[in-house]
């Protein structure tokens, strides 16, 4: 199994009070993620406001998801990891995906504007390496300059 797949494969989940989950991943990373805001703002997750339903959290197939109840609601392990990293003050890998998409950038072009290798950008984008704050700030700065016609 590739390293990226291990990053997002969950090995355990425990529902905690306050709509939080304790998550463990195959790469031995552990997080507590607070889902209160996500559940409160997402109609499809409304049923999880019920503490009894939320407490049914269990691993889904192949450790790729967390399922609740009969499996009618599930959350992807990669999205949960991204959210946990963001809540801990880090830069989640989905920011790179979104930045590239919103600016219509290919991997080659995005790597070029950031001044990093294509391979390193792929590591960041796929969540295989933590995104340093200066790389994210470069994304934000480039986007700002690009919108004003000043970016190369």
For each of the chain's 152 residues, which pLDDT tens digit applies? Answer: 445 567 889 999 999 999 999 999 999 999 999 999 999 999 999 999 999 999 999 999 899 999 999 889 999 999 999 999 999 999 999 999 999 999 999 999 999 999 999 999 999 999 999 999 999 999 999 999 988 777 66
Q: Which domain holds residue 51?
A: 3-87
* Per-residue pLDDT, 3: 54
Which residues 6+ apart lie within 8 Å of 119 measured at CB? none
In a domain, 152, yes or no: no
CB 100, CB 94: distance < 8 Å: no
The answer to whether residues 58 and 98 belong to one domain is no
The answer to whether residues 81 and 60 belong to one domain is yes
The answer to whether residues 23 and 78 belong to one domain is yes
In a domain, 79, yes or no: yes
The answer to whether residues 74 and 104 belong to one domain is no
Q: pTM of the entire structure?
A: 0.84
The answer to whether residues 134 and 100 belong to one domain is yes
The answer to whether residues 54 and 102 belong to one domain is no
* Per-residue pLDDT, 1: 43
The answer to whether residues 81 and 137 belong to one domain is no
The answer to whether residues 109 and 140 belong to one domain is yes
Q: Give the three-state DSSP class for 146.
A: helix
The answer to whether residues 76 and 114 belong to one domain is no
Domain count for the chain, please give it: 2
The answer to whether residues 22 and 71 belong to one domain is yes
The answer to whether residues 22 and 64 belong to one domain is yes
């Amino acid at each position: 199994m590739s390293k990226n797949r291990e990053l997002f494969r969950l090995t355990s989940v425990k529902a905690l009070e306050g709509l939080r989950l304790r998550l463990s991943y195959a790469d031995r990373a552990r997080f507590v993620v607070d889902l209160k805001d996500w559940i409160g703002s997402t109609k499809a997750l409304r049923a999880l406001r019920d503490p009894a339903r939320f407490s049914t959290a269990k691993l889904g197939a192949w450790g790729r998801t967390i399922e609740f109840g009969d499996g009618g609601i599930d959350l992807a392990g990669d999205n949960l990891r991204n959210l946990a990293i963001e809540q801990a003050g880090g830069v989640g890998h989905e920011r790179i995906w979104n930045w590239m998409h919103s600016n219509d950038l290919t991997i080659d072009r995005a790597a070029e504007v950031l001044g990093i290798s294509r391979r390193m950008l792929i590591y960041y984008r796929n969540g295989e390496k933590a995104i340093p704050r200066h790389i994210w700030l470069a994304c934000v700065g480039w986007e700002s300059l690009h919108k004003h016609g000043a970016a190369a």
